[in-house]
Amino acid sequence: MDLNERPVHELLELLAQGAIRLEEVLADLEAAIRARDQEVHAYLALAEQEELLRDAYAKSQTLLRGLPIAVKGNICTLEFPTTCGSRLLEQYRSPYEATAVRRWKEAGGTVGGITNLDEFAMGSSTEHSAFGPTRNPWDLGRVPGGSSGGSAAAVAAGTALAALGSDTGGSVRQPAALCGVVGLRPTYGLVSRFGLVSFASSLDIIGTLTRDVRDAALLLSIIAGGDPQDSTSLPVPVQDYTSQLRPDIRGLTVGVPKEYVPGQLGAEALALVDRWKAVVEELGGRVEEITLPLTEYALPTYYLVASAEASANLARYDGVRYTLRGVGRGAAEMIAASRTLGFGPEVKRRIMLGTYALSAGFFARYYGKAQKVRTLIAQEFTQAFTRVDFILGATAPSPAFRVGEKVDPLAMYLSDIFTLPSALAALPAVSIPGGKVGGLPFGLQLIGPRLSEARLLSWALALEEALS
């Protein structure tokens, strides 16, 4: 029946009507995983089918009726190891689960498996996992994006109904764009970070990867809300984002930054952007060309801030408290050996960059200055939202690139150039399928003011329906 290809909200309706049975959904998912995951490699661990079915049936009369979700490998669960895609945590099992996972389960959902990621969420291609790369379901010779590439690929391949990911600088939205699914990064603090393994604490947030915008609204309604276990979570009331969906952009002004549609996108991509603008006007909106000149400083700002915070956060992996321990004469040698064995090259690169930026004599020059530029980027967005209701542009500068194509770290980092600024400004943003370039998915990104998720998802739904 291919029920694994249906969005969650549609499955819930069919289950409520008695038109389908829960075991049919799980059987179709299992068949898809058997057929596709060996080549896509979206998962690091999977629930046993009998155990999943038993757990699902126990929740069959709840809101989510026992439907499973896939969870990125840096989000803690009780059922599976939390490896973060790293040999250093290969056997680590968390003694607690993430608030987002707990809320999904309390609403009647289950956890179907743990998805692959770039090690410690540091990457844009899911090639940097210690457990092998994930492939793009549209073309197995291409990357799915990253770092939430396993989650995006699982949804795109039909091996997950929906998935949780994490977005630090674009790690939900960019793989969503490359895999042709919907990726939502909420306002920083709207979803609890408790149980999300820290990379860059002032940037990390749990987001969703879904088949459509309605599912994004459904998942956000379940996982959002303040959390006393996370001091950075916002004390805002829980909302039902699904009931607030109003796919209507009549009378709204849409800003299109010239920095988000540079000439190097290529003729086919530029034609898609023109199509998006035309659709906005057909729906009754007004398009205004704007400029966000500080966009060019977002990349160096992000990599200084994120790497500095990563250096501090990853200092806890010392070979003493977690699963991998190297051999050395004395504590210093043992710690150095553990980190040398446990961390991959990309993680080491960012730790070294961050440690240098935080070192004596350089803190103010690098990390301190980057934080000042970050404030200016946020102020630039605030000013833009006095003129426009939301901002539209490409999610990524290209469709999925080939596995092994971007060996230069800077070329890889530029994959997130359109997602970094809004992350630095703590803004909500969503990527939806915007069409195809070279036969591959190409993402459309919408950015809204802080805590505008209800409106942002409504606008995204309007464009999704018009472009579908």
* Catalytic residue (choose from 86, 148, 171, 458): 171
Q: Residue 436 catalytic?
A: no
- Residue for token digits 């993402």? 443
Query: Two tokens at 414?
Result: 């530029």
* Residue 150 three-state SS: helix
Structure confidence by residue, pLDDT tens digits, 395-445: 999 999 999 999 888 889 999 999 999 999 999 999 999 999 999 999 999
Q: What is the CATH number of the domain that holds 90?
A: 3.90.1300.10
Structure confidence by residue, pLDDT tens digits, 294-306: 999 999 999 999 9
With respect to residue 92, please indicate whether it lies within any of the assigned structural domains. yes
Q: What predicted TM-score, i.e. pTM, was given to this entire model? A: 0.97
With respect to residue 278, please indicate whether it lies within any of the assigned structural domains. no
With respect to residue 63, please indicate whether it lies within any of the assigned structural domains. yes
With respect to residue 318, please indicate whether it lies within any of the assigned structural domains. no
With respect to residue 209, please indicate whether it lies within any of the assigned structural domains. yes
With respect to residue 175, please indicate whether it lies within any of the assigned structural domains. yes
Structure confidence by residue, pLDDT tens digits, 263-296: 778 999 999 999 999 999 999 999 999 999 999 9
DSSP string computed for 113-144: EEE--SGGG--SSS---TT----BTTBTTB--
* Catalytic residue (choose from 59, 72, 105, 406): 72
* Catalytic residue (choose from 129, 147, 166, 458): 147
User: Average pLDDT by consecutive 10-residue portion of the chain (468 residues)?
Assistant: 94 97 96 98 96 91 96 97 96 96 98 98 97 98 98 98 98 98 98 98 98 98 97 92 96 96 88 97 97 96 96 91 81 87 94 93 91 98 98 97 92 94 98 97 98 98 96
Q: Residue 171 catalytic?
A: yes
Which candidate, 381, 391, 389, places its Cα nearest to that of 445? 391
Q: What angle do CA 100, 101, 102 make, to 5 degrees?
A: 90
Cα separation values, 414 from 60, 200, 215, 236, Å? 45, 18, 29, 34
With respect to residue 353, please indicate whether it lies within any of the assigned structural domains. no
Task: Give how many domains the chain has, as a whole number.
Answer: 1
With respect to residue 283, please indicate whether it lies within any of the assigned structural domains. no
Q: Domain range spanning residue 121? A: 3-223
Query: Two tokens at 228?
Result: 């006393």
Q: Residue 233 catalytic?
A: no
